[in-house]
């Protein structure tokens, strides 16, 4: 799982240093080449020999000692590392890095790193909450350093609070997530629509649907993680867009249509996840409609079908659509794929538990232009998003 990956574990001087032994052991068992750098204080808690026996590499405790292997000198580990994990990370190392201080092997290696750096803070709860420490964490996080949240519970100092070292298993899961990221979308531009649209009836009322935007936002996030440039055209939702995307907020189907048609030409991949209203009001009242008779009729007219319009002009761009159905899933989805000239359609039966609107999971089938289909089991919307992106690449290459 981590074969071929070099992970540098920086161990600082906190009581949780002994838990880093299990972390190193787990990383090693997963096949990583693990190197340990200990601060001078860490050595007072755990003997370097313990780490050395587990990671089968020399443990670095002093910047000026004789190199034990030809390439272990000063910053060579910084260049070799795929990831640096500082666990436990004390207020001291966080403060030093935030302040630009590089006065020992660990701080020097972090400062010279090309790789992501993950801090796993563990300290007394009051220390963790200290505004200076929090300020340093925020500063480093804004610069792209990664932080794991400490656990809450009884700590070695006898207090109960937030500051406990997370389980080594949880840290390893986090590490796996960071190291398994692909960059296969680098250089590609992807346009994603998400969320519902709102079609106004009068200034206070509208017609809409239950779309939460979660699936579209997951596609945008996954594409960003894989290196794409992402434009997210989103209807009104209550979730935060992934950072790094160009986000354009729209309200009605016409707004969404205009925004997409204005920019699609510069994109390679178009993923239409939005639940666009098929109809809008023929006329929108300028003032709030008053309650009157027992019946009230709204006349609706057809909205443009964004995906279908893109299908007409897409050229060799890859066009993916969604098909949320309540019956005849496969036939309806296949018809849409053909009529909108899509390369792939993601069909989901929104009546099934664990699929569709609002929930964090989805159960989908992919149907491709060549008639082939892929049935996926229930999975998180993030995982569905990554599977869609995998297929888009295979279509693009085909
Ligand atoms: O025809 P239906 O609305 O079920 O098609 C769903 C697919 O078409 C989705 O990908 C959706 O984003 C897209 N669509 C669209 N514009 C519309 C209606 C649907 O882009 N007006």
pLDDT tens for 139-166 read: 998 888 999 989 998 877 777 889 999 9
Q: In terms of domains, do 172 and 230 share one?
A: no
Nearest ligand 1 atom to the CA of 321 is: 10
Sheet holding 6-11, edge to edge: 33-38, 6-11, 83-89, 117-121, 146-147
272 lines ligand 1 (CB under 6 A): yes
Nearest ligand 1 atom to the CA of 320 is: 10
Q: In terms of domains, do 160 and 239 share one?
A: no
Q: How far is the CA of 336 from the centre of ligand 1 (A)?
A: 9
Q: In terms of domains, do 31 and 135 share one?
A: yes
The percent of residues above 70 in pLDDT, for the chain, comes to 96
Q: How far is the CA of 48 from the centre of ligand 1 (A)?
A: 60
Nearest ligand 1 atom to the CA of 332 is: 4
Q: 364-368 and 344-349: which strand pairing?
A: antiparallel
The residue segments making up the domain with residue 299 are 189-397
DSSP state of 73: S
Q: In terms of domains, do 154 and 244 share one?
A: no
Q: How many H helices and E strands in the chain?
A: 14, 21
322 lines ligand 1 (CB under 6 A): yes
Final residue of a structural domain among 179, 199, 214: 179
Query: Distance between CA atoms of 276 and 210, rounded to whole angstroms?
Result: 11
307 lines ligand 1 (CB under 6 A): yes
How far, CA to CA in Å, does 269 sit from each of 78, 142, 323? 36, 29, 18
Nearest ligand 1 atom to the CA of 324 is: 4
Is 157 known to be catalytic? yes
88 lines ligand 1 (CB under 6 A): no
**Highest mean predicted confidence (pLDDT) among 31-40, 145-154, 345-354:** 31-40
Question: Is residue 62 one of the residues assigned to a domain?
Answer: yes
Q: In terms of domains, do 359 and 280 share one?
A: yes
Q: In terms of domains, do 83 and 166 share one?
A: yes
| Structure token pair of residue 68 | 């034990």
Question: Is residue 1 one of the residues assigned to a domain?
Answer: no
Question: Which stretch of DSSP H or E encloses residue 200?
Answer: strand 199-202
Question: Is residue 194 one of the residues assigned to a domain?
Answer: yes
Nearest CA to ligand 1 atom 10: 321
Question: Is residue 184 one of the residues assigned to a domain?
Answer: no
Q: In terms of domains, do 136 and 194 share one?
A: no
Q: In terms of domains, do 29 and 159 share one?
A: yes
What pLDDT, on a 0 to 100 scale, did the predictor assign at position 377?
85
Final residue of a structural domain among 179, 207, 236: 179
Q: What angle do CA 225, 228, 232 make, to 5 degrees?
A: 90
319 lines ligand 1 (CB under 6 A): no
Mean pLDDT of 113-131: 94
Question: Is residue 357 one of the residues assigned to a domain?
Answer: yes
The pTM of the whole model exceeds 0.85: no
345 lines ligand 1 (CB under 6 A): no
Name the phi and psi angles at 216, rounded to 5.
-65, -40
280 lines ligand 1 (CB under 6 A): no
C-alpha 30, offset from chain centre: 23
Name the phi and psi angles at 68, rounded to 5.
-90, -20
Q: Which of 321, 324, 327, 337 to mutate to test the pocket of ligand 1 (most atoms within 8 A of CB)?
A: 321
Please enumerate in sequence order all residues whose Cβ is within 8 A of that of 80, keeping only pairs 6 or more positions apart, or say none.
Answer: 6, 8, 35, 71
The domain that contains 255 carries what CATH number?
3.40.50.10300
Q: In terms of domains, do 309 and 364 share one?
A: yes
DSSP state of 196: B
What pLDDT, on a 0 to 100 scale, did the predictor assign at position 1?
77
Q: In terms of domains, do 256 and 233 share one?
A: yes
Q: What is the number of domains present in the chain?
A: 2
3-class SS of residue 238: coil
Q: In terms of domains, do 129 and 204 share one?
A: no
Task: For the chain, report the end-to-end CA distance as a whole number of angstroms.
Answer: 29
What pLDDT, on a 0 to 100 scale, did the predictor assign at position 397?
65
pLDDT tens digit string along 184-231?
999 999 999 999 999 999 999 999 999 999 999 999 999 998 999 999
pLDDT tens digit string along 50-72?
999 999 999 999 766 655 554 45
Average pLDDT for the chain: 92
Q: In terms of domains, do 57 and 152 share one?
A: yes
Query: Distance between CA atoms of 257 and 152, rounded to whole angstroms?
Result: 47
Q: 160-164 and 229-234: which strand pairing?
A: unpaired
pLDDT tens digit string along 177-193?
888 777 899 999 999 99
Final residue of a structural domain among 124, 155, 179: 179
The domain that contains 123 carries what CATH number?
3.40.50.1950
Closest residue by Cα to residue 193 from 276, 114, 130: 276
């Amino acid at each position: 799982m981590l074969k071929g990956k070099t992970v540098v574990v920086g161990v600082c001087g906190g009581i949780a240093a002994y838990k880093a032994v299990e972390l190193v052991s787990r990383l090693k068992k997963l096949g990583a080449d693990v190197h340990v750098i200990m601060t001078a204080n860490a050595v007072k808690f755990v003997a370097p020999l313990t780490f050395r026996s587990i990671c089968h590499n020399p443990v670095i405790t002093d910047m000026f000692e004789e190199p034990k292997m030809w390439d272990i000198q000063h910053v060579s580990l910084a260049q070799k590392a795929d990831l640096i994990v500082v666990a436990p990370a004390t207020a001291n190392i966080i403060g030093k890095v935030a302040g630009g201080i590089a006065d020992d092997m660990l701080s020097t290696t972090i400062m010279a790193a090309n790789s992501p750096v993950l801090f796993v803070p563990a300290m007394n709860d009051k220390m963790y909450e200290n505004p200076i420490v929090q300020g340093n964490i925020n500063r480093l996080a804004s610069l792209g350093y990664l932080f794991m949240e400490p656990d809450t519970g009884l700590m070695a100092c006898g207090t109960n609070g937030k500051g406990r070292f997370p389980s080594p298993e949880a840290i390893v899961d986090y590490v796996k997530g960071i190291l398994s990221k692909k960059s296969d979308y680098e250089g590609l531009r992807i346009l994603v629509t998400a969320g519902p649209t709102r079609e106004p009836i009068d200034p206070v009322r509208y017609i809409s649907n239950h779309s939460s935007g979660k699936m579209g936002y997951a596609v945008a996030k996954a594409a960003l993680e894989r290196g794409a440039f992402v434009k997210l055209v989103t209807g009104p939702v209550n979730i935060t867009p992934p950072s790094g995307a160009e986000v354009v907020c729209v309200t009605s189907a016409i707004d969404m249509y205009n925004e997409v048609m204005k920019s699609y030409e510069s994109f390679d991949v178009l993923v239409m996840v939005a639940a666009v209203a098929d109809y809008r009001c023929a006329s929108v009242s300028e003032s709030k409609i008053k309650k009157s008779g027992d019946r009230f009729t709204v006349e609706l007219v057809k909205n443009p079908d964004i995906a279908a319009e893109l299908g007409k002009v897409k050229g060799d761009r890859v066009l993916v659509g969604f098909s949320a159905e309540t019956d005849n899933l496969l036939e309806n989805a296949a018809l849409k794929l053909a009529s909108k000239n899509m390369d792939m359609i993601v069909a989901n039966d929104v009546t099934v538990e664990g699929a569709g609107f609002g929930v964090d999971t989805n159960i989908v089938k992919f149907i491709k232009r060549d008639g082939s289909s892929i049935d996926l089991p229930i999975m998180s919307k993030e995982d569905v998003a990554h599977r869609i992106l995998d297929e888009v690449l295979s279509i693009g290459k085909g």
